[in-house]
Amino acid sequence: MKLAGKAAIVTGAGRNIGEEIAVLFAQEGAKVAVVDMDEGRADAVADRIKDEGGEAVAVVCDVSDTEDITKMVATTADAFGAIDILVNNVAISDNKDIFELSEDEWRKTIDITLSSPFYVTKQVANWMVDNDRGGKVINIGSTSGFKGRPTALAYTAAKGGVFNLTQSLAVQLAPYGIIVNQVSPNMTGSPVGQEIFDRNRKVNNLVGRPGEPDEQAKAVLFLASDDASFIAGANLFVDGGTMAMASFASPAKRKDGK
Protein backbone atom coordinates (compact mmCIF):
# COMPACT_ATOMS: atom_id res chain seq x y z
CA MET A 1 0.00 0.00 0.00
CA LYS A 2 1.39 3.39 -1.02
CA LEU A 3 0.02 5.37 1.95
CA ALA A 4 0.10 2.81 4.76
CA GLY A 5 0.13 4.48 8.16
CA LYS A 6 -0.47 7.97 6.77
CA ALA A 7 -3.22 10.38 7.80
CA ALA A 8 -4.76 12.63 5.17
CA ILE A 9 -7.15 15.55 4.92
CA VAL A 10 -9.13 15.90 1.68
CA THR A 11 -11.29 19.01 1.34
CA GLY A 12 -14.38 18.99 -0.83
CA ALA A 13 -14.39 15.20 -0.44
CA GLY A 14 -18.15 14.77 -0.55
CA ARG A 15 -18.40 14.25 -4.30
CA ASN A 16 -16.69 13.94 -7.66
CA ILE A 17 -12.86 14.25 -7.67
CA GLY A 18 -12.58 14.82 -3.92
CA GLU A 19 -14.60 11.70 -3.15
CA GLU A 20 -12.46 9.53 -5.39
CA ILE A 21 -9.26 10.92 -3.87
CA ALA A 22 -10.49 10.14 -0.36
CA VAL A 23 -11.59 6.61 -1.32
CA LEU A 24 -8.36 5.81 -3.19
CA PHE A 25 -6.22 7.14 -0.34
CA ALA A 26 -8.07 4.84 2.06
CA GLN A 27 -7.66 1.88 -0.29
CA GLU A 28 -3.93 2.61 -0.23
CA GLY A 29 -3.80 2.48 3.57
CA ALA A 30 -4.37 6.10 4.64
CA LYS A 31 -6.68 7.25 7.38
CA VAL A 32 -8.78 9.98 5.80
CA ALA A 33 -10.58 13.07 7.08
CA VAL A 34 -13.44 13.50 4.62
CA VAL A 35 -14.01 17.26 4.73
CA ASP A 36 -17.09 18.86 3.20
CA MET A 37 -19.63 21.58 3.99
CA ASP A 38 -22.45 19.10 3.34
CA GLU A 39 -22.71 16.80 6.35
CA GLY A 40 -24.70 14.16 4.45
CA ARG A 41 -22.10 13.93 1.70
CA ALA A 42 -19.18 13.80 4.13
CA ASP A 43 -20.90 11.02 6.10
CA ALA A 44 -21.72 9.07 2.94
CA VAL A 45 -18.12 9.07 1.72
CA ALA A 46 -16.74 8.22 5.15
CA ASP A 47 -19.23 5.35 5.36
CA ARG A 48 -18.20 4.16 1.90
CA ILE A 49 -14.58 4.04 3.05
CA LYS A 50 -15.44 2.23 6.28
CA ASP A 51 -17.65 -0.27 4.43
CA GLU A 52 -14.59 -1.13 2.32
CA GLY A 53 -12.53 -1.74 5.45
CA GLY A 54 -10.81 1.64 5.59
CA GLU A 55 -10.57 4.24 8.32
CA ALA A 56 -12.21 7.65 7.93
CA VAL A 57 -13.80 10.48 9.83
CA ALA A 58 -16.37 12.86 8.37
CA VAL A 59 -15.69 16.52 9.18
CA VAL A 60 -18.08 19.34 8.34
CA CYS A 61 -16.04 22.47 7.62
CA ASP A 62 -16.36 25.78 5.81
CA VAL A 63 -12.83 26.14 4.44
CA SER A 64 -13.29 29.89 4.03
CA ASP A 65 -13.76 30.21 7.81
CA THR A 66 -10.51 30.05 9.78
CA GLU A 67 -12.26 29.09 13.03
CA ASP A 68 -13.89 26.13 11.26
CA ILE A 69 -10.50 25.14 9.86
CA THR A 70 -8.94 25.21 13.33
CA LYS A 71 -11.61 22.79 14.55
CA MET A 72 -11.17 20.56 11.48
CA VAL A 73 -7.40 20.32 11.94
CA ALA A 74 -7.83 19.52 15.65
CA THR A 75 -10.50 16.90 14.91
CA THR A 76 -8.23 15.18 12.38
CA ALA A 77 -5.19 15.23 14.66
CA ASP A 78 -7.24 13.92 17.59
CA ALA A 79 -8.79 11.15 15.49
CA PHE A 80 -5.59 9.92 13.82
CA GLY A 81 -2.76 11.29 15.94
CA ALA A 82 -1.12 12.74 12.85
CA ILE A 83 -1.56 14.76 9.67
CA ASP A 84 0.72 13.69 6.84
CA ILE A 85 -1.11 14.72 3.68
CA LEU A 86 -3.35 17.63 2.74
CA VAL A 87 -5.32 17.82 -0.51
CA ASN A 88 -6.86 21.25 -1.17
CA ASN A 89 -9.67 20.31 -3.55
CA VAL A 90 -12.53 22.71 -2.74
CA ALA A 91 -13.55 25.17 -5.46
CA ILE A 92 -16.55 27.00 -6.83
CA SER A 93 -16.93 28.64 -10.24
CA ASP A 94 -18.67 31.81 -11.34
CA ASN A 95 -19.34 30.73 -14.95
CA LYS A 96 -19.95 34.36 -15.91
CA ASP A 97 -18.25 37.06 -17.94
CA ILE A 98 -17.16 40.46 -16.63
CA PHE A 99 -20.50 42.10 -17.47
CA GLU A 100 -22.55 39.51 -15.57
CA LEU A 101 -20.28 38.90 -12.59
CA SER A 102 -21.15 40.79 -9.42
CA GLU A 103 -18.56 41.96 -6.91
CA ASP A 104 -20.01 39.62 -4.27
CA GLU A 105 -19.71 36.64 -6.64
CA TRP A 106 -16.14 37.64 -7.42
CA ARG A 107 -15.21 37.81 -3.72
CA LYS A 108 -16.91 34.50 -2.87
CA THR A 109 -15.25 32.62 -5.73
CA ILE A 110 -11.82 34.03 -4.91
CA ASP A 111 -12.21 33.33 -1.20
CA ILE A 112 -13.26 29.69 -1.59
CA THR A 113 -11.17 28.74 -4.62
CA LEU A 114 -7.96 30.69 -3.95
CA SER A 115 -7.93 31.86 -0.35
CA SER A 116 -9.05 28.59 1.24
CA PRO A 117 -5.93 26.66 0.13
CA PHE A 118 -3.90 29.36 1.89
CA TYR A 119 -6.07 29.27 5.02
CA VAL A 120 -6.03 25.47 5.29
CA THR A 121 -2.38 24.97 4.34
CA LYS A 122 -1.26 27.60 6.86
CA GLN A 123 -2.91 25.77 9.73
CA VAL A 124 -1.91 22.28 8.60
CA ALA A 125 1.69 23.38 7.96
CA ASN A 126 1.84 24.95 11.42
CA TRP A 127 0.64 21.65 12.90
CA MET A 128 3.25 19.71 10.95
CA VAL A 129 6.09 22.03 11.98
CA ASP A 130 4.96 22.21 15.61
CA ASN A 131 4.90 18.41 15.73
CA ASP A 132 8.25 18.08 13.94
CA ARG A 133 6.77 16.26 10.95
CA GLY A 134 7.16 16.68 7.22
CA GLY A 135 4.30 16.06 4.87
CA LYS A 136 2.74 16.45 1.47
CA VAL A 137 0.36 19.15 0.19
CA ILE A 138 -1.38 18.73 -3.15
CA ASN A 139 -3.46 21.58 -4.52
CA ILE A 140 -6.08 20.93 -7.17
CA GLY A 141 -5.68 23.54 -9.89
CA SER A 142 -7.29 23.68 -13.30
CA THR A 143 -6.40 24.27 -16.92
CA SER A 144 -8.62 27.34 -16.48
CA GLY A 145 -5.80 28.86 -14.45
CA PHE A 146 -3.55 28.96 -17.50
CA LYS A 147 -5.73 30.58 -20.18
CA GLY A 148 -8.75 32.81 -20.63
CA ARG A 149 -12.32 31.60 -20.86
CA PRO A 150 -15.38 33.38 -22.25
CA THR A 151 -17.66 32.03 -19.52
CA ALA A 152 -15.65 32.40 -16.30
CA LEU A 153 -13.59 35.18 -14.77
CA ALA A 154 -13.23 34.85 -11.00
CA TYR A 155 -12.61 31.11 -11.34
CA THR A 156 -9.86 31.52 -13.92
CA ALA A 157 -8.23 34.26 -11.84
CA ALA A 158 -8.46 32.11 -8.71
CA LYS A 159 -7.00 29.01 -10.33
CA GLY A 160 -4.18 31.06 -11.84
CA GLY A 161 -3.47 32.22 -8.31
CA VAL A 162 -3.53 28.64 -7.00
CA PHE A 163 -0.64 27.75 -9.32
CA ASN A 164 1.52 30.60 -8.04
CA LEU A 165 0.42 29.85 -4.48
CA THR A 166 1.56 26.26 -5.02
CA GLN A 167 5.01 27.34 -6.16
CA SER A 168 5.51 29.83 -3.33
CA LEU A 169 4.29 27.33 -0.73
CA ALA A 170 6.69 24.79 -2.18
CA VAL A 171 9.61 27.18 -1.74
CA GLN A 172 8.62 28.28 1.76
CA LEU A 173 7.69 24.87 3.19
CA ALA A 174 10.44 22.70 1.70
CA PRO A 175 12.89 23.59 4.51
CA TYR A 176 10.45 21.93 6.91
CA GLY A 177 10.16 18.75 4.87
CA ILE A 178 6.72 19.70 3.54
CA ILE A 179 6.50 19.04 -0.20
CA VAL A 180 3.91 20.95 -2.23
CA ASN A 181 2.68 20.10 -5.73
CA GLN A 182 -0.39 20.63 -7.90
CA VAL A 183 -2.66 18.60 -10.19
CA SER A 184 -4.60 20.49 -12.88
CA PRO A 185 -7.65 18.71 -14.32
CA ASN A 186 -9.81 19.58 -17.30
CA MET A 187 -13.35 18.43 -18.06
CA THR A 188 -13.44 15.74 -15.39
CA GLY A 189 -16.59 14.31 -13.86
CA SER A 190 -19.38 16.78 -13.26
CA PRO A 191 -18.59 20.48 -13.78
CA VAL A 192 -17.73 22.52 -10.67
CA GLY A 193 -20.93 23.15 -8.73
CA GLN A 194 -23.04 20.74 -10.80
CA GLU A 195 -24.32 17.25 -10.04
CA ILE A 196 -24.58 15.54 -13.42
CA PHE A 197 -21.61 13.81 -15.05
CA ASP A 198 -22.40 13.71 -18.75
CA ARG A 199 -19.90 11.32 -20.31
CA ASN A 200 -21.15 12.37 -23.74
CA ARG A 201 -20.60 16.09 -23.28
CA LYS A 202 -18.52 17.84 -25.89
CA VAL A 203 -14.82 18.07 -25.08
CA ASN A 204 -11.83 19.48 -26.91
CA ASN A 205 -8.83 17.34 -26.05
CA LEU A 206 -6.54 14.71 -27.51
CA VAL A 207 -8.22 11.76 -25.79
CA GLY A 208 -11.69 12.57 -27.09
CA ARG A 209 -13.70 12.13 -23.90
CA PRO A 210 -14.23 13.74 -20.49
CA GLY A 211 -11.99 12.63 -17.66
CA GLU A 212 -13.12 10.26 -14.93
CA PRO A 213 -12.74 11.46 -11.31
CA ASP A 214 -10.65 8.41 -10.41
CA GLU A 215 -8.10 9.42 -13.08
CA GLN A 216 -7.43 12.61 -11.15
CA ALA A 217 -7.32 10.64 -7.90
CA LYS A 218 -4.57 8.39 -9.27
CA ALA A 219 -2.45 11.43 -10.16
CA VAL A 220 -2.95 12.89 -6.68
CA LEU A 221 -2.03 9.54 -5.12
CA PHE A 222 1.20 9.54 -7.13
CA LEU A 223 2.19 12.97 -5.79
CA ALA A 224 1.19 12.00 -2.24
CA SER A 225 3.26 8.81 -2.32
CA ASP A 226 6.97 8.05 -2.20
CA ASP A 227 6.82 7.46 -5.97
CA ALA A 228 7.05 11.27 -6.29
CA SER A 229 9.94 11.65 -3.85
CA PHE A 230 11.92 13.97 -6.16
CA ILE A 231 9.02 16.15 -7.34
CA ALA A 232 8.40 19.51 -5.65
CA GLY A 233 6.71 22.73 -6.74
CA ALA A 234 5.41 21.04 -9.87
CA ASN A 235 2.12 21.16 -11.75
CA LEU A 236 0.84 17.97 -13.35
CA PHE A 237 -1.74 18.47 -16.11
CA VAL A 238 -4.25 15.62 -16.08
CA ASP A 239 -6.28 17.08 -18.91
CA GLY A 240 -6.48 14.65 -21.80
CA GLY A 241 -3.94 16.75 -23.66
CA THR A 242 -5.98 19.96 -23.61
CA MET A 243 -3.03 22.19 -22.80
CA ALA A 244 -1.00 20.69 -25.64
CA MET A 245 -3.50 22.06 -28.17
CA ALA A 246 -3.70 25.55 -29.66
CA SER A 247 -7.34 26.02 -28.69
CA PHE A 248 -8.46 29.62 -28.52
CA ALA A 249 -11.90 30.63 -27.26
CA SER A 250 -14.04 32.92 -29.36
CA PRO A 251 -14.23 36.46 -27.93
CA ALA A 252 -17.33 37.03 -25.83
CA LYS A 253 -19.79 39.89 -26.27
CA ARG A 254 -22.31 41.38 -23.90
CA LYS A 255 -25.70 39.77 -24.15
CA ASP A 256 -27.21 43.02 -25.38
CA GLY A 257 -24.96 42.73 -28.42
CA LYS A 258 -22.87 45.82 -27.66
Catalytic residue among 155, 156, 192, 223: 155
By the 8 A CB rule, do 68 and 79 touch?
Answer: no
Single-letter amino acid code for the residue at 188: T
For residue 102, the cross-strand partners are none
C-alpha atoms less than 13 angstroms from C-alpha of 229 in its C-beta half-sphere: 3
CA angle 137–33–80, rounded 5-degree value = 95
Assign 120 to helix, strand or coil.
helix
Closest by CA to 182, choosing from 152, 214, 150, 145, is: 145
Per the annotation, the verdict on 119 as an active-site residue is no
Q: Report the largest interatomic distance among the alpha carbons of the chain, rounded to a whole angstrom.
A: 59
- Residues tagged active-site: 155
